[in-house]
């Protein structure tokens, strides 16, 4: 199954970001991808954290959700829309939500980001909990590929990557990690964490990321990549800026690695 990880440098307007997403999705489809995954915050990187509140949608309807459904139908793609802001339990917060769409435009899975990023090194300060309400439930879906295999696809978002117990609980063949890692934390930890999650779970990992200097001044690490179950980086975007990273994922490779090293069956704790 061919999978595309899409890298963006999202700006401060939803319309401009959706135009960029449409370009990248079309490129992924043209490259033969069956599944295309957008990064976290693909629809908005606002001037302020609270800008998310102004564009939040109710689950099931809204401009961004309509866009994802239409793109999936029009391109015949499975699409996972990185994250978008959905209504939360109060007016001061949103859910940071990843939605998966079938080629028929049907939303087949919803995951609300569980772990909320907080970082302060004296120069950069982030605290997602100020505006984001965390989720609580793990989420995976089944993707029947064109070659007849059924892939179990597990959903996660960005900071979740630092919590291995989430991924073990998914029991997935392919782990998705749409992200907006800061340049500081990404440079230090991005690749090693992604490869570790792949090795620990004997699973493929697809990690689309924000990558570059944004209108709001933030700089994200990028390096969108796909990793195989042995920890091998199959494809990676080395430079900043938007782009598409594509790789073929082999179910036979997955089965062979799991047979040779049956660590998942050796669990005790």
- Residues 54-104: pLDDT tens digits? 999 999 999 999 999 999 999 999 999 999 999 999 999 999 999 999 999
The reported pLDDT for the residue numbered 269 is 87
DSSP secondary-structure letter at 38? P
Q: How many CB atoms lie within 10 A of CB 123?
A: 6
Cα separation, 145 vs 142, in Å, equals 9
Q: How do residues 152-196 score in pLDDT, each as one tens digit?
A: 999 999 999 999 999 999 999 999 999 999 999 999 999 999 999
Considering the candidates 43, 52, 57, 113, report the single residue annotated as catalytic: 113
The reported pLDDT for the residue numbered 125 is 96
Q: Is 179 part of any domain?
A: yes
E strands, 71-122, are 78-87, 94-101, 107-112, 118-120
Q: How many CB atoms lie within 10 A of CB 245?
A: 25
The reported pLDDT for the residue numbered 32 is 98
Q: How many CB atoms lie within 10 A of CB 142?
A: 11
Considering the candidates 34, 57, 158, 240, report the single residue annotated as catalytic: 158
Residue 13 has pLDDT above 90, yes or no: yes
Give me the residue label for tokens 């995954």.
37
> Is 34 a residue of the active site?
no
The reported pLDDT for the residue numbered 119 is 98
- Of the pLDDT bands very low, low, confident and very high (cuts 50, 70, 90), residue 123 is very high
Cα separation, 176 vs 132, in Å, equals 20
> Is 113 a residue of the active site?
yes
Q: Is 253 part of any domain?
A: no
Q: Is 116 part of any domain?
A: yes
* Conformation bin of residue 105: beta by default, left when phi > 0, alpha when psi is -120 to 50: left
For residue 19, the domain's CATH number is: 3.60.110.10
Considering the candidates 40, 57, 128, 240, report the single residue annotated as catalytic: 40
- Expressed as residue numbers, the domain containing 82 is 2-190+207-227+235-248
Q: Is 46 part of any domain?
A: yes
The reported pLDDT for the residue numbered 29 is 98
Residue 222 has pLDDT above 90, yes or no: yes
- Please enumerate, as own/partner, the contacts of 254-263 that have beta carbons within 8 Å and a separation of 24 or more: 254/173, 254/202, 254/203, 254/204, 254/229, 257/202, 257/228, 257/229, 257/230, 258/202, 258/229, 261/202, 263/202
Q: Is 255 part of any domain?
A: no
- Of the pLDDT bands very low, low, confident and very high (cuts 50, 70, 90), residue 136 is very high
Q: Is 265 part of any domain?
A: no
Count of the separate structural domains present in the chain: 1
Q: Is 263 part of any domain?
A: no
> Is 19 a residue of the active site?
no
Residue 242 has pLDDT above 90, yes or no: yes
Q: Is 164 part of any domain?
A: yes
């Amino acid at each position: 199954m061919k999978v595309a990880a899409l890298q963006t440098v999202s700006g401060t307007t939803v319309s401009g970001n959706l135009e960029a997403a449409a370009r990248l999705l079309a490129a992924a489809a043209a490259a033969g991808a069956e599944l295309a995954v957008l990064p976290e915050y693909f629809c908005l990187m606002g001037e302020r954290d609270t800008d998310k509140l102004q564009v939040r949608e109710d689950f099931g309807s809204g401009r961004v959700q309509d866009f994802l459904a239409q793109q999936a139908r029009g391109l015949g793609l499975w699409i996972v829309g990185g994250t978008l802001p959905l209504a939360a339990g109060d007016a001061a917060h949103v859910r940071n939500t990843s939605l998966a769409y079938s080629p028929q435009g049907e939303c087949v899975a919803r995951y609300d980001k569980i772990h909320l990023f907080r970082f302060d090194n004296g120069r950069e300060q982030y605290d997602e909990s100020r505006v984001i309400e965390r989720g609580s439930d793990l989420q995976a879906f089944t993707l029947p590929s064109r070659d007849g295999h059924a892939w179990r696809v597990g959903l996660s978002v960005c900071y979740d990557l630092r919590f291995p117990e989430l991924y073990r609980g998914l029991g997935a063949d392919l782990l998705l990690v749409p992200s907006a890692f800061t340049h500081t934390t990404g440079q230090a930890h991005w690749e090693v964490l992604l490869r570790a999650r792949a090795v620990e779970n004997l699973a493929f990992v697809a990690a689309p990321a924000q990558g570059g200097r944004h209108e709001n001044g933030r700089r994200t690490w990028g390096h969108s990549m796909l990793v195989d179950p042995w920890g091998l980086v199959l494809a990676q975007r080395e430079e900043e800026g938007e782009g598409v990273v594509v790789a073929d994922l082999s179910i036979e490779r997955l089965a062979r690695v799991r047979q040779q090293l049956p660590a998942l069956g050796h669990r005790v704790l």
